[in-house]
Amino acid sequence: MAQHSNYWTCSAFADWLRGTPKPGSATSKGWHDWTVAAKAKHPIRYWVADDGLGHLQDFVTWPIRKIYDVKYYINNRYVTRTHALSAHPRDIKPGTWSDVGNRFLPCLFNELVDFIEIESAWSHIAWGSKEAREKYDAPFYATGWFRWRTWRCPQAGLDHLDWAMTLTNTDWCEPSHKDYGKPTQQATRAKELKELYLWWTDTYRNRPDPYEASGWSAICESRRESHKDDGFMFEDRTPAEKKETRRALDVMRKIEAQYEKENEAMMIRLIKIRDALWT
């Protein structure tokens, strides 16, 4: 059967036609038990409600689904460009050269930002109440048929992660299960995604510049002023200047090495949780 935004087989009419309402939520065992009981009680009505309605919906909605296919092709190809990874101009200015190894960090984390600020934000209002949608003042193209995956709302995305982080296995397993009451996999992944997002948008952005933190920039500026009439402002003229240069460059290299180690660790964390980046 085709994919739909809502399914006739899950409607109130289907429940009436089947004679056995579907549960709102249940464990895998609960769904299995319900299916067996529903088929046994009204086998023909069950088929009509769960198979017949599905085939009928596929047939009736075929024209509109073809229009959707065209719309989403245009969206994926030219708007969201889901076939490509790209860096934000803030991280790599268009037209400038950037080695492949230097593109990994910004491209990967820019995609994470888009996922949270666009995809997760959409999920938060798409499945939320009318009041929730009004809270974020989402425009008409944020949801529904006109959605073009361009509406961005960092707060809605973070609120969605905060909600997901509260999910526990209470509703998904029996009280006797060892994981009963513990955070779900969705909750633990939401926590990890939020930590990575905040690292990139806050911690990474506000890390002290190695040249400034090491004092090397101040040294260069001081020598530029004191030796502006000759061409040797970066030369170590005295043992004291040589010691000052060595100290500053050692500190700068140490900071850069720490940053590189942190960048690598964060990229590894993001790669390990990549299968959670879907809506």
pLDDT in tens, 72-116: 788 777 877 778 888 889 999 988 999 999 999 999 999 999 999
The domain locations on the chain are 90-204, 210-270
Low-confidence ranges of the chain (pLDDT < 70): 1-2, 4-5, 145-146, 227-234
> What is residue 234's predicted lDDT score, i.e. its pLDDT?
61
3-state secondary structure labels for all residues of the chain: CCCCCCCHHHCHHHHHHHCCCCCCCCCHHHHHHHHHHHHHHCHHHHHHHHHHHHHHHHHHCHHHHHHHHHHHHHHHHHHCCCCCCCCCCCCCCCCCCCCHHHHHHHHHHHHHHHHHHHHHHHHHHHCCCHHHHHHCCCCHHHCHHHCCCCCCCHHHHHHHHHHHCCCEHHHCCCCCCCCCCCECHHHHHHHHHHHHHHHHHHHCCCCCCHHHHHCHHHHHHHHHHHCCCCCCCCCCCCHHHHHHHHHHHHHHHHHHHHHHHHHHHHHHHHHHCHHHCCC
